[in-house]
């Protein structure tokens, strides 16, 4: 018979030690650091929003509540033209980047693993891995060569630059949606002799819809708020709203600029909230 002491000491019979799972919120200083981060991120935005309703032209002296600066901002032709350019560029970039991202997501998830798949992921997500200024300079150099060879100019260069930069932002939620989708319904449709195009349009695309909407909204927000690429690529008459705000700040901050910035922040927040809502519905 085996010695009882030996049996107790045996690693197989000994109970496994449970790993201690530490709650980050219980760690010393976590709450304080969280509040410091929140204040550092949102206090400047709150100050900007508050002084956009200031009656006085000063951005540091509060004298009373007023909506006059919003009215002046909406009546400003420069602001309206810049907003229209931003919307045009963002819509074009959203459509192109979403289509390309959808095709890329289908090609990388609806196929067997292949050699170089990791390299493909790296190429698609390249704008996320290197500084945006590098992407902007590389795009500027390419477009300068194209302009020299073709003699063509116009806002199309800015639109294409935004579309290329937004592809990985649209790709991520679309790919995530595809990875959670099973092939059961698609295989069932194929077993019922549905041609591939009908399987895609009637089965795959409706199921993929929430991911496409999420990717499109994310691409739109990224394009609408972009500064660095626009600053280098945009030509005369192609001033977007963020670039207009940047130029106006150099002449001095006014409540009118605060009002425009508040509107831009509100639009971005609404789109992000809508994106969050779609993603929650997608996870159900």
Residue-wise pLDDT tens digits, 16-28: 555 555 666 677 7
Q: Which pLDDT value is given to residue 13?
A: 47
Distance CA 221, CA 161 (A): 15
3-class secondary structure per residue, 5-24? HHHHHCCCCCCCCCCCCCCH
Query: How far separated are the first and last CA of the chain, in Å rounded?
Result: 57
Q: What tokens appear for 264 in the block?
A: 């831009």
Residue 81: both structure tokens together: 């033209």
Q: Which residues contact 277 (CB under 8 A, 6 or more apart)?
A: none
Domains and CATH numbers, the chain: 76-283 (1.10.3720.10)
| Maximum Cα–Cα distance across the chain | 96
Integer Cα distance of 211 and 234 in angstroms:
30
For residues 66 and 70, give the distance between their C-alpha atoms in angstroms, rounded to a whole number. Answer: 9
pLDDT(91) > 60: yes
Residue 236 predicted with pLDDT over 60: yes
Encode pLDDT of 123-182 as tens digits.
Answer: 888 888 888 899 999 999 999 999 989 988 889 999 999 999 999 999 998 998 888 887
């Amino acid at each position: 018979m085996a010695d009882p002491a030996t049996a107790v000491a045996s690693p197989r019979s000994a109970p496994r030690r449970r790993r201690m799972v530490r709650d980050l919120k219980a760690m010393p200083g976590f709450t304080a650091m969280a509040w410091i981060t929140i204040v550092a991120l949102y206090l400047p935005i709150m100050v900007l929003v508050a002084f956009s309703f200031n009656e006085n032209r000063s951005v540091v002296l509060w004298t009373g509540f007023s909506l006059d600066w919003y009215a002046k901002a909406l009546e400003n032709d420069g602001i309206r033209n810049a907003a229209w350019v931003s919307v045009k560029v963002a819509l074009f970039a959203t459509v192109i980047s979403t289509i390309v991202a959808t095709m890329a997501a289908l090609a990388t998830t609806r196929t067997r693993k292949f050699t170089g798949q990791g390299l493909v992921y790296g190429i698609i997500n390249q704008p996320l891995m290197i500084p945006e200024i590098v992407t902007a300079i590389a795009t500027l150099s390419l477009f300068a060569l194209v302009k020299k060879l073709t003699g063509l100019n116009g806002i199309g260069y800015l639109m294409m630059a935004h579309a290329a930069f937004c592809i990985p932002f649209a790709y991520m939620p679309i790919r995530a949606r595809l990875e959670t989708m099973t092939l059961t319904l698609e295989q069932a449709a194929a077993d019922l002799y549905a041609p591939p195009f009908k399987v895609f349009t009637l089965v795959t695309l409706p199921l993929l819809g929430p991911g496409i909407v999420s990717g499109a909204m994310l691409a739109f927000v990224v394009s609408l708020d972009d500064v660095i690429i626009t600053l280098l690529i945009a030509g005369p008459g192609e001033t977007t709203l963020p670039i207009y705000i940047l130029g106006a700040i150099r002449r001095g901050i006014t409540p009118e600029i605060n009002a425009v910035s508040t509107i831009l922040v509100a639009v971005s927040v609404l789109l992000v909230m809508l994106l969050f809502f779609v993603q929650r519905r997608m996870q159900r």
